[in-house]
Structures are given as C-alpha cells and as structure tokens.
Chain A
Amino acid sequence: MSEIIILFIGAIAAGLMGSLTGLGGGVIIIPLLTLGFGVPMHYAIGASLISVIGTSSGAAVAFVKEGFTNMRIGMFLEIATTAGAVVGALVSGFLNPNTIGIIFASILILTVLLNLKGKPDHQEELIKGSLADKLKLYGTFPDKDGIKHYASRNTIPGFLMMIFAGAMSGLLGIGSGALKVLAMDNMMKLPFKVSTTTSNFMIGVTAVAGAMIYFQRGQIIPVIAAPVLIGVVVGSFIGSKTLMISKTKKLKVFFAIVITLLSIYMMYNGVAKNFN
C-alpha cells in the first residue's frame, strides 16, 4: 500500500507543477512514472490520459460557467483532435517505449519554446460567407468594458494543426494543451481567454478517444491510474489557487529551464534504451 501513497504524493507534485507551468499534469507525470518509479511506458501513458480527463473536466466546470469557453468551436475542432487521438493511440501500440520517450522529449522541448514566446491576443471581425461564418465559429465574452465580439480565421490550417495535437495526445498521453492553443491563437486568431479555456474543454474528450484504446489493451492499471488521477486533480487544484502569485517572468524562465533539463534527460534515457 505504501507504493500507492508514494504514487499519490508524486502525482500531487506533478499536478501542481503542471498547473504552475501551464503545461498540464501529463507532461510531468510521464517522466516521473517511467524514469522515477520504473513504470512501463504504456502504463504511464494510460494513467496520464486518465489524469488528463480528470483535470480537464474539473477545470472546465468553472470556465464553462464564466462564459469564455466556446462550445461550438470546441465541438468542431474535437472532430480533428479525437480522430488524431485514435491514430496516435493505435500507433503507440506498435512503438517501443524508447522511441516514445524520444518523441516525448522532442514535443516537450517544443512545448517549452511555445510557452516562452509571448502569446498574441487577437480579436477579429467576422468575415461574412467564410467557413468560420458557416460553421458559426464566433462568439462573445464578458470583459470589463462590456461584451466583446470575436470570430475565427484560417479554419482549415487550424483544423489540421488540431489533428496533430490530437495524435500527440493519443501517442504520448498528454493533453497537448500548448499545441491546441498554438492552433487557436496563432492560426485561428482567437482571443487568448477563449483559446485557453476552449482548449482545456477539448482536452478531456481528446484524452477519452485515446484512453478507450489503452483501456482495452489492458494498459490502464487501476492501482496506478487511480492514485495518479486523484493526485493530479488535487495538485492542479492547489496550483490553480496559487497561480496568481507565481505568474512572474522569473518563475516562467525557471520552469522553462527545469522542463528543458527534464526533456534532455528523457531524450538521453530514450537513446540509452532505459525505458521499459
């Protein structure tokens, strides 16, 4: 039973760290489980996917009620992320743990770079007759100066990027939040608040599409997945409460260095074939 307590405490730390860095719990839990505790890679991915569903659903409650989440944009892009996730989860079944470790490390570095770059905040007018108009990819959100209107651009490139984000989620067991925000901020030019909350909203469904495949492959181990789930949810909750204090530039750089070292360590272990 003590192993389960250790898993649980580790998961709280991962959830806290994931929430403070804005990367999500999955990014920290996979290295912790595989390299820290020696859990086989596919079991770690299965457990991580479950924790991703938990944090996404938990956090989405608040955002949906505040009115920032655009459920139509979310639902439309979920076609892309779930399809990608199915492919990613199937491919993962054929890959050996070291290859997955190397891909994980590469995506992690990319995520850090994306996170460090300042996020643009767009607010675009609707183009009548565009694909975004036909699919109702627009909306409003409450702001201190009243109600703000926005609309989506570049629907097709955004959709394609979402397929990639979904595939990485199914392959690596992460939420791919950074990739989803990239598609919605940089490509579709949505306001920052809308893209972050809508991305969080979609992460749960995307993870489910992958999790159903891992579950039926026997790779979601109850005594690993459940303590990880509860721990990460608790950790993210604590993290979301302390988020205000820690949003300084210095901390952001510090976390970026920590995550970069972590991805180099993952890369090294992948090349040295240390994953099981």
Chain B
Amino acid sequence: MRTKPFTDIDLNRSVGNLLRLGVLLSVVTSLVGFTKLFMEGFVMPKKYKLLDMGTTSEKVWGQFWNSLMKGEGMAIIQLGILFLILTPLVRIIFALIGYLKEKDYVYVVISLIVLAIMTVSFLTGYAH
C-alpha cells in the first residue's frame, strides 16, 4: 500500500516511463510489420498516390481492421503508428489522474478540456 501523498515528482516519473514505453512499442510493432510486408513481397508503386489508404474515414478504418484480421504487414505497421498516436493521449489521462490525487481541481478541469479537444479532433476527422 502506498502511504506517501502523491506528488508532482511521482507524476513526472510515471509520465516519463509511459512516453518511453509508447515509443518503444510503436517502433517494435512497425518493425514487425515491415518484416511481414517484406515476406509478402511488397513492391513500392511508381506513383505514391497509389498508396492511398482510403478517401473517407470509414474506408480507412474498414480497410485497417480487415487487413489487421488477415495479419497483413501494412496493418501491423499502421497499428504501430496508432500506438504512437495514443501515447500522448494516455499521458494526458495519467496527468488527469495525478491532478485528481493531488486534489488540484483547476488542473483536473484543464486536462479535461484538452481531452475534449482531442475528442473533437478525432470526431471531425471521422466526419470527413
């Protein structure tokens, strides 16, 4: 059981570890994806435009899940990229929990506002 009060130093330490873990997980996953892609005999198209991942968000996500279920290299790399995108988001949630433990309610609200903007970003991307 933790008996010491939760301080900014604890928060700094857990945020630091989280960021390191997120980047590592992302890079390792991407490398696994590349190995798989290489074994599938991937050839880079002459025109980069042919690499398009879909024109609407539904197509992007649909294609991603489909490809991931089949264990394709492309989707595994994409998963690595999504891990990286998630890292700073989890960092904000960590900070939010930290501020709750410190009973710093001004910063609980500020963290919630940042999370709300992130949600808006996700949803406006989705509506496209």
Contacts and interface: CB of A to CB of B under 8 A. Distances in A.
Contacts of A32: none
Interface of B: 8, 11-13, 15-17, 19-20, 22-23, 26-27, 30-31, 33-34, 37-38, 42, 44, 48-49, 51-57, 59-61, 74-75, 77-78, 80-82, 84-85, 87-89, 91-92, 95, 104, 106-107, 110-111, 113-114, 117-118, 120-122, 124-126, 128
Contacts of A1: 38, 42, 44
A204 B110 CA distance: 17
Nearest to B49: A40
B124 A61 contact: no
A71 B95 contact: yes
A71 B38 CA distance: 41
A20 B42 CA distance: 35
A107 interface: no
A222 B121 contact: no
A127 interface: no
A115 interface: no
Interface residues of A, number: 61
Nearest to A1: B38
A40 B26 contact: no
Interface string A237-276: 0000000000000000000000000000000000000001
A125 B37 CA distance: 57
Interface in A46-87: 50, 53-54, 56-58, 60-61, 64-65, 67, 69, 71-72, 75-76, 78-79, 82-83, 85-86
Interface string A187-221: 00000000000000000110111111111111111
30 contacts: A3-B44, A4-B44, A50-B81, A53-B87, A57-B19, A60-B19, A61-B20, A64-B15, A64-B19, A71-B95, A79-B114, A135-B106, A136-B104, A204-B91, A205-B89, A205-B92, A205-B114, A208-B88, A217-B55, A217-B125, A217-B128, A221-B48, A221-B52, A222-B77, A223-B37, A226-B30, A230-B27, A230-B30, A230-B31, A233-B23
